[in-house]
Chains A and B, each alone.
Chain A
Amino acid sequence: AQKITQTQPGMFVQEKEAVTLDCTYDTSDQSYGLFWYKQPSSGEMIFLIYQGSYDEQNATEGRYSLNFQKARKSANLVISASQLGDSAMYFCAMRPYNFNKFYFGSGTKLNVKP
């Protein structure tokens, strides 16, 4: 069965510091995609970053990077130099090869302190 686990319901980080949001997944598929989405208080879902299961290098998008450890089945999101606008809920998601479903974790609420 496919499952995404985010073990940190809430986190605090000081402005300008880096923070890591944890995500582990469980799948028997060999091909899959991993995604992170940001949900600010306004409610919309914003795509942040993607990592393919066969990608050898960790994905990066600006201040976001994905620390992908395939053997451990983890796909942690690293936000560098946190900003107040990073305060939001963050969801990890996985899309298996058969395309018919995305699996989401329960989310991590990040609060950035000034």
Chain B
Amino acid sequence: EAQVTQNPRYLITVTGKKLTVTCSQNMNHEYMSWYRQDPGLGLRQIYYSMNVEVTDKGDVPEGYKVSRKEKRNFPLILESPSPNQTSLYFCASSTAGSLDYGYTFGSGTRLTVV
């Protein structure tokens, strides 16, 4: 089954404790991206990657890191989480070859930083 697998689904952590949210896709998509969703703000892009070893900042990159060492994986790293990073996070992937191809989203990670 074609899918984006995101883990964990739920995470509660304390301020300053480094964490990684994993994202893996099995569709050979070139393009991957991370979003955070907050009430009233919709989805805001954190980072995106056009292909292996090619990453770039989105609209709200502060406090986050990413890497793209393999085409299928695109982990999101919070080196020192803070309460304002409490949010619902989505990983998404898409092929870069066609304008009409939308995103396939992961199931989301609900992160709470206390």
Contacts and interface: CB of A to CB of B under 8 A. Distances in A.
Given A43-B88, A91-B43, A105-B42, A33 B33 contact: no
A47 B102 contact: yes
Given A91-B42, A100-B48, A100-B50, A33 B108 contact: no
B74 interface: no
Contacts of A44: 105, 107-108
Contacts of B40: 9, 106
B99 interface: yes
B100 A43 contact: no
B42 A33 contact: no
Interface residues of A, number: 26
B96 interface: yes
A99 B56 CA distance: 13
Contacts of B45: 101-102
A33 B103 CA distance: 12
Contacts of A35: 102-103
Contacts of B56: 100
A95 B99 contact: yes
Given A102-B102, A105-B42, A106-B42, 14 more contacts: A6-B42, A33-B100, A35-B102, A43-B88, A43-B107, A44-B107, A45-B90, A52-B99, A93-B103, A99-B96, A101-B33, A101-B45, A104-B35, A106-B41
22 contacts: A31-B99, A32-B99, A33-B100, A35-B102, A37-B102, A43-B88, A44-B107, A44-B108, A45-B90, A45-B108, A47-B104, A93-B102, A99-B99, A100-B48, A100-B50, A101-B33, A102-B33, A102-B45, A104-B35, A104-B44, A105-B42, A107-B42
Interface of B: 31, 33, 35, 40-45, 48, 50, 56, 58, 88, 90, 92, 96, 99-100, 102-105, 107-108, 110
